[in-house]
Amino acid sequence: MKKRTYIFLAILIYFIGASPVMAVNWQSVTIKNYRVIYHPYQKKLAEEVAETILKTEPKYKSVFGEMPKDTIRIILADRREEFDKLTKNTIPEWSKGVTRPEIHLIILLTDQIKRDEFFAVVRHELVHAWMGSLYPGIQTPRWFDEGMAVLLSGERVSDNTSIISRAVLTGSLFSLDDVSQVLKFGRAKARLAYAESYTAMRFFVEYFGWKKFPVLFATLKQTKSFKSALQAATGLSLYEFEDTFLDYAKKNYRWQFLFDIDLYLWLALPVFVAVSFLLIRRRNRKRMDAWKEPQESGSE
């Protein structure tokens, strides 16, 4: 245990570096095998993070079939500068959290994020940490990792349908392999990558059911092969799964953008502006005519 602690501290020092940002005191709260590391003024938030994780455990256990035994550490960075120092500037500006699964470390940005969104990020990153702990050294596709994290975390996904729908119509859906580059994408492409990953997992649930996840993860642990685990759970090869998913997306999402109320609001906005301009112009003309009439009658 002491050896692991020293290894963690060495890695943490590597990520932090000799930075004045970190020249502050840190405190921690430990509940079970979760240790939340925070600034003194973040104590309440740290406790809420720990409570959120504990409430999440039963749901995650039902999906993975077991729970991690390794200590999972969560660092709360209170501003972007600190977050960038901790992550060595390797994370895009749109990200609010990152997990180093090989060392069971989560780094969260707490600044300028809504409360509900923040705790969704906590649950999202926890999925990555669990997978890193339960299946060390086993490669799984990025679309699967991110899709599972979005699916289980309860993140806001109301925009996903219209995002996928527009991608289907424009022929801009990614191959699932392309999602592996998500951290190099800009915000718009990243949103599509996450939406597509989530939709792939929704497809999994709809066609094969939640009960297949423990089968998949048990096979993954035994064979250390994602392809074998996916086939054991679905009966499909990786390529067959992707082809079936893409057919599913094209069939079910092609016209869903028509139900996007935001689209109609944006389409209606120029019409509203034009009509308002014409009405104002007409009203002003009437006022000018009404102002001229008394002058003309007075001159007679």
Q: What is the pLDDT of residue 266?
A: 40
**By mean pLDDT, which of 42-56, 58-72, 249-263, 264-278 is the weakest?**
264-278
Per-chain mean pLDDT for the chain: 84
**By mean pLDDT, which of 7-21, 147-161, 247-261, 266-280 is the weakest?**
7-21
Percent of the chain with pLDDT over 90: 59
Q: What is the pLDDT of residue 104?
A: 96
Per-residue pLDDT band at 52 (split at 50, 70, 90) = very high
Q: What is the pLDDT of residue 156?
A: 81
Q: What is the CA radius of gyration of the chain?
A: 26
Where do the domains of the chain lie, and which CATH numbers do they carry? 1-137 (3.40.30.160), 140-275 (no CATH)
- Structure-token match 């990555």, residue found: 128
Q: What is the pLDDT of residue 26?
A: 94
Q: Decide if pLDDT at 44 tops 80.
A: yes
173 or 266, higher pLDDT: 173
* Tokens matching residue 175: 């191959």
Q: Decide if pLDDT at 46 tops 50.
A: yes
Q: What is the pLDDT of residue 8?
A: 52
Q: What is the pLDDT of residue 87?
A: 93
Q: Decide if pLDDT at 264 tops 50.
A: no
The end-to-end CA distance of the chain, in Å, is 105
* Tokens matching residue 164: 């996928």
- Structure-token match 């497809």, residue found: 203
* Tokens matching residue 269: 């906005």
Q: What's the per-residue H, E or C state across the chain?
A: CHHHHHHHHHHHHHHHCCCHHHCCCCEEEEECCEEEEECHHHHHHHHHHHHHHHHHHHHHHHHHCCCCCCCEEEEEECCHHHHHHHCCCCCCCCCCEEEEHHHCEEEEECCCCCHHHHHHHHHHHHHHHHHHHHCCCCCCCHHHHHHHHHHHHCCCCCCHHHHHHHHHHHCCCCCHHHHHHHHHCCHHHHHHHHHHHHHHHHHHHHHHCCCHHHHHHHHHHHHCCHHHHHHHHHCCCHHHHHHHHHHHHHHHHCCHHHHCHHHHHHHHHHHHHHHHHHHHHHHHHHHHHHHHHHHHHHHC
Q: What is the pLDDT of residue 300?
A: 47
What would the pLDDT profile of 75-103 be if each residue is shown by its tens digit? 999 999 999 999 999 999 899 999 999 99
- Structure-token match 């996903």, residue found: 160
Inter-residue contact 216 to 238 (CB < 8 Å): no
CA atoms of 194 and 180, how far apart (whole Å): 11
Q: What is the pLDDT of residue 164?
A: 87
Per-residue pLDDT band at 13 (split at 50, 70, 90) = very low
Cα distances (angstroms) measured from residue 269 to each of 259, 262, 273? 17, 11, 6
Please give the order of strands across the beta sheet that includes 105-109. Answer: 27-31, 34-38, 72-77, 105-109, 97-100
Per-residue pLDDT band at 37 (split at 50, 70, 90) = very high
Percent of the chain with pLDDT over 70: 77
Q: What is the pLDDT of residue 182?
A: 86
Side chain identity at residue 236, one-letter code? L
Cα distances (angstroms) measured from residue 246 to each of 141, 236, 252, 296? 16, 14, 10, 73
What would the pLDDT profile of 197-243 be if each residue is shown by its tens digit? 999 999 999 999 999 999 999 999 999 999 999 999 999 999 999 99
User: Looking at residues 240-250, what average pLDDT do you find?
Assistant: 93
Q: What is the pLDDT of residue 22?
A: 46
What would the pLDDT profile of 150-181 be if each residue is shown by its tens digit? 999 988 877 788 888 888 888 888 889 888 88
CA atoms of 185 and 199, how far apart (whole Å): 19
Please, which residues bridge with residue 75 across strands? 37, 107
